[in-house]
Amino acid sequence: MTLPNPMTVTVLGAGAMGSALCTPLRARGHTVRLWGTPLDEDILTALEGGLPHPRTGEHLADGTELVHDPDLESALADADVVVVAVSSDGVRSIVERAAPLMGRAQALALTTKGFLRDAEGTVRLLPESIERIFSDSAAVPPPIVAIGGPCKANEVAASRPTAAVFGCSDIDVARSIAGAVETDGYRIHVTDDDRGVEVAAPLKNVYAIALGFADGLTTRTGQPWHDLRSAVFSKAVDEIADMTEALGGSARTAWGLSGVGDLEVTGLSGRNKVFGERLGSGEAPAEALQKMIDAHQTVEGVPASGLAVALASQLFDDAASRLPLLHAIRRIVEGCDDPLLVLTTAALPPLQASGSSR
Amino acid sequence: MTLPNPMTVTVLGAGAMGSALCTPLRARGHTVRLWGTPLDEDILTALEGGLPHPRTGEHLADGTELVHDPDLESALADADVVVVAVSSDGVRSIVERAAPLMGRAQALALTTKGFLRDAEGTVRLLPESIERIFSDSAAVPPPIVAIGGPCKANEVAASRPTAAVFGCSDIDVARSIAGAVETDGYRIHVTDDDRGVEVAAPLKNVYAIALGFADGLTTRTGQPWHDLRSAVFSKAVDEIADMTEALGGSARTAWGLSGVGDLEVTGLSGRNKVFGERLGSGEAPAEALQKMIDAHQTVEGVPASGLAVALASQLFDDAASRLPLLHAIRRIVEGCDDPLLVLTTAALPPLQASGSSR
């Protein structure tokens, strides 16, 4: 794969991660067009006014070209690489519009993370869903590069040291794009396991709710619940690895930057962890979620927990016993009684004398 | 293996973890003797006075019998299980004294963690070292059960939910002991990979210094360095898995509670993380270490980093390039220039265009 240098990169979605990626892209001298969705108008206005990005608190990289909706056609014209960085809610409609317009693109890189349910009700990984959207538009998708790993948008935007993962079934594509995007601070591990990257990314948002729950207990009781948090962490990694293998990815991906690394960063801060913290502090889920919605904070792990449970039931007859932590989180999010007991039962090893209580 | 119920358990070492284990042991109704080393006299005095344990802040489990040094013979008389819970510094001298006195014991459980250097200068895992000490005393060691996993002593002492790992090459021994010790709050995963448990436990203390370093940067700059912390976390897990396999254990152990889980808990609090935080905040290593010694805080990861580097060089010709993060931490602990650059270079993926700087 031969990319021009500099190349033209169009980023679809001016949210936190789309805008942040402009930092390494511009540092490497590429032509960068940042296209905002209709929901991004306030962000574009702020950036055009020279203000920092409202979500990352960082200024946009110098020289980034801003493009408003609906001017998608000119945004995508001559793009060598397209980055899809819209929310998982918006990905279907944006890709439907963009698919016929990116004929020249050599790769579609994906920072959007989530599972999508198709019209028949089947839950699918994002690259598969995107390929089907292209196919419905009678367009041929370029190779899809899944971007994962422990990357907070504000840190990428500020050039603080970050390890990303670029995954593509054609590893040469991942390697070429990575070579064109990497900087001293934005380093990239490449893999051919795009599926593994796409499984871990939405799941870590779900499991981060449980990490936050343990943090909330610590806050509420004034005593550390670090052992529980760490048992949850380890169990989450086990379940992500299990789901990854069942979906045709490699468990090694779950044990690396995309799984362990991304779960770690997601448990340190961010909305899913904060939502879990509220639950662990004793707030009811509906009330906690409403407060976050009122503050314009989407908690992606909540819808992802429902989709993940549905996906698990597509994969395993014994999904609930095989992935107890995932199912416990779903119950907690739905407001079950005694969430602490539900969480500990799912996260800790079973008793040797199984069935008995000690 | 048939253990009496209740059984007699002698815990050697009245420090934080030895004392904490008395909580589940007494909850299961066992006879528990807690023997203090000469260094534990202040602790025993506090406990005899009805005060909380000076290190965990928790009261000792009711009914625990306290035994002072030098009365090791009567402490070990009729012990069905012996728990070695002294510091890694003290393990050789205590085991030399205890080896001829524990003829009745059906298992030796080990919460002490570290690598030991033998008289010829070879660095060895602890169970192997203990077997050699028994052999030097012409005594036959009982099966050794390695205890690991994310267990903070204060939380175990307070019966907060904890997932431990018991590893023994004879898994039936691990299972029997676990079945006799588990409680609703102290749950145990059993494995036959005692070596894996023993590799991860000292190494996580070393890597926690680097996690703390990232936290120190966050404190110092007022900006999050979560991406770096998470890249360090993931790289640490990779290197622990690599060392584990080279020492005849299973990488799966590193990816489970003993590795990932224990690294998580060690990075949340504790002396190794705090020491690293001081370095990340800009303190010189010698100064930071002295302050902690002055406060009677042993930083086990510092000597462990030297032993781990020596062990790595026994295993690999290319140890420094194979385990870059371990070697970077050793350099940082020894006071190298530009520790941030040393850490990021080791923790982040290499550039695709290797050798070049972007």
Where along chain A do its domains lie? Answer: 8-192, 195-347
Determine the pLDDT at residue B50: 97
Indicate whether A111 pLDDT > 90.
yes
Query: What is the rounded average pLDDT of the residues B113-123?
Result: 95
* Contact between residue A53 and residue A189 where contact means Cβ atoms under 8 Å apart: no
The tokens for B201 are 């436990």
Starting at the edge strand found earlier in the chain, the sheet holding A144-148 runs A65-67, A31-35, A8-12, A81-84, A107-110, A144-148, A162-167, A186-191
pLDDT in tens, B218-251: 999 999 999 999 999 999 999 999 999 999 999 9
A84 to A102, A105, A254, B36, B327: CA distances (angstroms): 12, 12, 23, 62, 38
Window B:164-203, CB contacts with A under 8 Å = 175, 178-179, 182-184, 187-190
Mutate which of A56, A207, A234 to test chain B, going by most B C-beta atoms within 10 A? Answer: A234
Distance in angstroms (rounded) separating the CA atoms of residues B79 and A203: 47
CA nearest B151 in A: which residue?
Answer: A227
Indicate whether B215 pLDDT > 60.
yes
Query: What is the rounded average pLDDT of the residues A63-72?
Result: 97
CA nearest B268 in A: which residue?
Answer: A226
pLDDT in tens, B131-167: 999 999 999 999 999 999 999 999 999 999 999 999 9
Query: Known catalytic residue: B204?
Result: yes
Please report the DSSP string for B274-324 in residue order.
Answer: HHHHHHHTT--HHHHHHHHHHTT---THHHHHHHHHHHHHHH-TTHHHHSH
Mutate which of B217, B230, B245, B269 to test chain A, going by most A C-beta atoms within 10 A? Answer: B230
CA distance B166 to chain A (A): 12
* Contact between residue A291 and residue A174 where contact means Cβ atoms under 8 Å apart: no
CA nearest B165 in A: which residue?
Answer: A349
* Contact between residue B60 and residue B85 where contact means Cβ atoms under 8 Å apart: no
Indicate whether A353 pLDDT > 90.
no
Distance in angstroms (rounded) separating the CA atoms of residues A173 and B252: 30
Q: Is A140 on the interface with B (CB under 8 A)?
A: no
> Of B113, B204, B235, B273, which is the active-site residue?
B204
Q: Across the A/B interface, how many CB contacts are shorter than 8 Å?
A: 188
Query: What is the rounded average pLDDT of the residues A243-269?
Result: 98
- Whether A182 and B224 lie within 8 Å, measured CB to CB: no
Indicate whether B355 pLDDT > 60.
no
Contacts of A154 in chain B (CB under 8 A): 224
Indicate whether B52 pLDDT > 80.
yes
Indicate whether A357 pLDDT > 90.
no
Distance in angstroms (rounded) separating the CA atoms of residues B341 and B345: 6
CA distance A303 to chain B (A): 25
Residue B256 pLDDT grade (very low, low, confident, very high; cuts 50, 70, 90): very high
Reported ipTM: the value is: 0.98
Query: Percentage of residues in chain B with pLDDT exceeding 70?
Result: 99
Q: Is B349 on the interface with A (CB under 8 A)?
A: yes
Indicate whether A94 pLDDT > 60.
yes
Window B:210-239, CB contacts with A under 8 Å = 223-231, 233-234, 237-238
Query: What is the rounded average pLDDT of the residues A150-172?
Result: 98
Look at the block and give the residue holding tokens 């035994």: B67
Structural domain B198-347, CATH architecture? Orthogonal Bundle (1.10)
Which positions of A are catalytic?
204
pLDDT in tens, A180-238: 999 999 999 999 999 999 999 999 999 999 999 999 999 999 999 999 999 999 999 99
What's the topology of domain A195-347?
A: N-(1-d-carboxylethyl)-l-norvaline Dehydrogenase; domain 2 (1.10.1040)
- Whether B261 and A231 lie within 8 Å, measured CB to CB: yes
Contacts of A357 in chain B (CB under 8 A): 184
A8-192 has which CATH code?
Answer: 3.40.50.720
* Contact between residue B107 and residue B81 where contact means Cβ atoms under 8 Å apart: yes
For A62, list phi and psi in degrees, rounded to 5: -55, 140
Nearest to A234 among B184, B223, B260 (CB): B260
Indicate whether A355 pLDDT > 60.
no
